């Protein structure tokens, strides 16, 4: 049988065909920052050994798909079996380092449900080489990874401690706890920021080198050309490729590059104006009319009287303080810092602190960062350090009050962007948060339009009622208006329709 020129081949540079290829989900700080999610421990998926290809090969983007993305990566090739090896001895089991390209079709990513089987194990989707670097002759923290697309550098990162979430040797040690890593097995160690969609005709080159090592060893440039090929997807046999905005965003690296609106959760200026005009008391009443009673974040009020906050919920959760967990989760770029560092314009950062009054949950530096990022405000059912300094920053903050203690006294910053319980109310990322002097309420996203319209209409009615009461009118039949009073209000309404709080605001 004669191979087609573009048929994938096991790279001749490999000492033997690997029994397994294991890929790391996220390992570079830059990639995690791009995604806004930092793994606490490594996680993995498998790629088929039949996906291997050599430098100079073509990779097929099947007809009917559009989101083929490259990922320049460092490949580790196991030199001797590793089973239950320690972190200190793990690198001794790595024979070679080289360049790899962890190609994938995001059109199948959602259907794979995390396995990446169809999206990343197609023939030719793991080009590798062209040369091997002796792993024992280099420092694994001083490797450089670069990727070019059509001659332009799109990835340039290194394996220093500052740039990696986990050291390369950790993958060997970790995996060896669960399986025997055999001679020839390959570990793909994750990609830095810069991975994006490629198209037929594009040429991708990946190089790994050790510029500070003697002789500056290099893998050479791993070259792959994208070509269009048949899809041949049979709907009677399996799932067809399918994409959505989430897959587009992840494939391109960010929403702007994918041609999507900057923030999928953003509310229009027009809706924000209406919510700013609606009191929380009125909004709460409308939610109650729709069967939602536990929507008030209890016990929190604005630092500065007269403050109004409106925005989309972004969440942060603290667990009860525990010394060992604070050692692992309290330092460095922890969940608290990530939440304040990544909050987007118009979002309200909502913090679950279990209504614990004995410690601060934020201070002036974090408030400054949120203000700079354009956050609409912060709501915490805990307390605030640097209370007066935070108030002067001008960021709307709703809290129980002040407390001087640092975070570690009562709290462990644990995770972000998940459903939380704040002030005895459930808050889901994407909910609408509205706060004023009466407190803070949570509005489900799918109800916000009808709730705010009804609240504004009722507010207009209540203003008329208040005027009648001020002129001596009895509450009987007036609050709410019934009978003749209702008729009088309808006449008033016809001549005095409610003002549009969003008038002049473009959405």
Q: Which residues are annotated as a binding site for substrate?
A: 363-366, 385
User: Binding site for Mg(2+), residues?
Assistant: 386
Residues in contact with 214: Cβ distance below 8 Å, sequence separation at least 6, in sequence order = 137
User: CA-to-CA distance for 217 and 332, rounded, in angstroms?
Assistant: 33
Which residues on neighbouring strands pair with residue 367, listed in sequence order? none
The secondary structure element, H or E, covering residue 76 is strand 72-78
229: its two tokens: 């090929």
Q: What 3-state class would DSSP assign to 485? A: helix
**CA nearest neighbour of 38 among 441, 504, 490, 413:** 413
φ and ψ at residue 142, rounded to 5 degrees: -125, 30
Q: Choose among 443, 427, 442, 362: nearest CA to 399.
A: 362
Buried b (16+ CB within 10 A) or exposed e, 234-268: eeeeeeebebeeebbbbbbbebeebeeeeeebbbe
Element counts in the chain: helices (H) and strands (E): 14, 27
Of 192, 248, 232, 254, the residue nearest 67 (C-alpha): 248
Phi, psi (deg, nearest 5) at residue 414: -115, -60
E strand or H helix at 387 = helix 387-393
Distance CA 91, CA 78 (A): 9
124 vs 24, 47, 56, 178, 309, CA distance in Å? 19, 11, 11, 28, 52
Annotated binding site: 363-366, 385-386
317: closest CA among 356, 372, 280?
A: 356
Q: What share of the chain is helix, strand, coil (3-state, %, to 5)?
A: 30, 30, 45
Q: CB-based contacts of 261: which residues, under 8 Å, 6+ apart?
A: 255
Q: Among 259, 18, 35, 253, which Cα is nearest to 129's?
A: 18
With beta carbons less than 8 A apart as the criterion, state whether 377 and 396 touch.
yes
């Amino acid at each position: 049988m004669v191979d087609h020129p573009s048929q994938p081949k096991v790279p001749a540079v490999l000492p033997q065909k690997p029994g397994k290829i294991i890929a790391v989900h996220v390992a570079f700080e830059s990639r995690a920052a791009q995604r806004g999610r930092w793994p606490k421990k490594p996680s993995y998926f498998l790629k088929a050994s039949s996906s291997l290809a050599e430098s100079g090969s073509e990779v097929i983007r099947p007809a009917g798909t559009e989101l083929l993305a490259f990922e320049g990566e460092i490949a580790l090739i196991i030199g001797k079996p590793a089973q239950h090896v320690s972190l200190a001895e793990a690198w001794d089991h790595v024979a070679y380092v080289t360049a790899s390209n962890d190609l994938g079709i995001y059109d199948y990513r959602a259907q794979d449900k995390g396995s990446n089987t169809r999206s990343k194990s197609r023939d030719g989707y793991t080009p590798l080489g062209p040369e091997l670097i002796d792993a024992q002759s280099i420092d694994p923290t001083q490797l450089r990874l670069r990727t070019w697309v059509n001659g332009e550098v799109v990835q340039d990162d290194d394996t220093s401690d500052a740039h990696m979430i986990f050291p390369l040797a950790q993958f060997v040690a970790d995996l060896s706890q669960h399986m025997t890593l055999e001679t020839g097995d390959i570990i793909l160690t994750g990609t830095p920021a810069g991975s994006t969609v490629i198209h037929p005709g594009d040429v991708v080159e990946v190089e790994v080198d050790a510029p500070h090592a003697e002789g500056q060893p290099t893998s050479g440039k791993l070259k792959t050309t994208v070509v269009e090929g048949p899809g041949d997807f049979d709907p009677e046999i399996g799932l067809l490729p399918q994409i959505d905005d989430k897959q587009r965003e992840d494939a391109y690296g960010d929403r702007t590059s994918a041609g999507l609106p900057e923030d999928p959760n953003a509310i229009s200026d027009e809706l924000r104006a209406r919510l700013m005009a609606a009191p929380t008391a009125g909004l709460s009443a409308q939610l109650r009319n729709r069967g939602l009673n536990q929507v008030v974040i209890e016990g929190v009020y604005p630092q500065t009287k007269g403050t109004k906050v409106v925005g989309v919920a972004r969440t942060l959760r603290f667990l009860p303080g525990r010394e060992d967990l604070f050692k692992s989760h309290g330092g460095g770029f922890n969940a608290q810092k990530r939440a304040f560092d990544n909050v987007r314009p118009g979002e309200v950062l909502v913090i679950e602190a279990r209504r614990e009054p004995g410690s601060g949950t934020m201070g002036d530096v974090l408030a400054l960062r949120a203000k700079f990022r354009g956050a609409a405000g912060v709501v915490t059912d805990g307390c605030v350090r640097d209370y007066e300094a935070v108030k002067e920053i001008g960021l709307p903050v709703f809290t129980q009050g002040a407390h001087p203690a640092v975070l570690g006294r009562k709290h462990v910053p644990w995770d972000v962007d998940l459903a939380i319980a704040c002030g005895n109310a459930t808050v889901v990322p994407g909910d609408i948060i509205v706060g004023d002097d009466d407190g803070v309420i949570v509005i489900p996203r799918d109800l916000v339009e009808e709730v705010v319209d009804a609240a504004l209409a009722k507010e207009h009615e209540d203003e008329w009622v208040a005027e009648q009461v001020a002129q001596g009118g009895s509450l009987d039949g007036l609050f709410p208006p019934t009978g003749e009073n209702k008729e009088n209000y309808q006449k008033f309404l016809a001549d005095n329709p409610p003002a549009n709080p969003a008038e002049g605001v473009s959405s």
